[in-house]
């Protein structure tokens, strides 16, 4: 069985070491308003537990969740009991998803409430990486709301170990890295506009997580080309990338993605 155990790498200069592939968990908590090509059924607890166990066995230690992912955090708390030190947990603040709709609140009061709530839901005393779940107005969110200042306070208090943004613009990503630890960036075969954020991270020892690595399941290329392999070759060909988050709930897809990432990183064809 191909695994990623020997391929963990630093998340910038945070002191955290992460697997090159992370497990996204939106599909554990929400099946409304998600941009996937096909519908899916939210896994039950037994299926979710098996998926998490498989991920650990495959060498994945990075798990990505958010308040906006429906009941993802609430489910992960009990599912990860007794395993806290085995995982690097990423969560977010700013976006809430209720009754099928997203709404945003980046105020200091909500940010603190959100993080404290995530700690309770996840049954943990600290969140390894806390990202601002941006609404797309990255610069305004970072400059005008106080969210980053609040996250800096929470880091000093030890409730979070690192912070950054899951943003949508180059300018926001650059500012987030200048003042914080990490940025989650869209970077795939069809969208590479945020590459300057990756370049900055590579030269300043900052962390980069890739979202939509496989274009939310829409990756496709010319006949005879493996789109998953090509996607990971692009992503890991950039020295700024720490890890790519993939949100599969299919065991076969998870194993195949791990094998592909391992092959790419080891330079095997």
Residues with catalytic function = 69
Spell out the SS3 assignment of 3-45.
CCHHHCEECCCCCCEECCEEEECHHHHCCCCCCCCCCCCCCCH
d(CA 166, CA 90): 11
Count the alpha carbons within 13 Å of 1 in the hemisphere toward its beta carbon. 12
d(CA 267, CA 201): 23
Taking alpha carbons only, the member of 13, 12, 44 closest to residue 27 is: 44
φ, ψ of residue 91 to 5 degrees: the values are -130, -175
Whether the Cβ atoms of residue 232 and residue 244 lie closer than 8 Å to each other: yes
d(CA 193, CA 212): 13
């Amino acid at each position: 069985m191909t695994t990623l155990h020997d391929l963990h790498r630093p998340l910038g200069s945070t002191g955290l070491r992460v697997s090159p592939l992370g497990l996204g968990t939106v599909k554990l908590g929400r099946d409304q308003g998600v941009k996937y090509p096909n519908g899916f059924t939210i896994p039950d607890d037994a299926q979710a537990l098996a998926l998490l166990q498989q991920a650990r066995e495959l060498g994945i230690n990075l798990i990505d969740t958010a308040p906006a992912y429906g009941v993802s955090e609430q489910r992960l708390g009990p599912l990860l009991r007794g395993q806290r030190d085995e995982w690097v947990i990423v969560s977010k603040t700013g976006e809430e998803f209720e009754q099928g709709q997203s709404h945003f609140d980046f105020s200091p009061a909500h940010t603190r409430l959100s993080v404290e709530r995530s700690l309770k839901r996840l049954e943990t005393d600290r969140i390894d990486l806390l990202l601002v779940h941006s609404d797309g107005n990255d610069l305004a969110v970072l400059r005008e709301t106080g969210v980053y200042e609040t996250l800096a306070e929470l880091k000093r208090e030890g409730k979070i170990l690192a912070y950054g943004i899951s943003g949508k613009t180059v300018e926001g990503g650059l500012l987030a890295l200048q003042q914080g630890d990490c940025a989650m960036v869209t970077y795939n075969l069809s969208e590479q506009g945020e590459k300057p954020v990756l370049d900055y991270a590579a030269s300043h020892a900052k962390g980069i997580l890739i979202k939509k690595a496989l274009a939310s399941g829409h990756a496709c290329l010319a006949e005879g080309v493996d789109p998953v392999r090509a996607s990971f070759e692009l992503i890991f060909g950039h020295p700024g990338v720490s890890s790519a988050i993939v949100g599969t709930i299919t065991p076969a897809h998870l194993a195949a993605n791990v094998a592909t990432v391992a092959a790419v990183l080891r330079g095997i064809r």
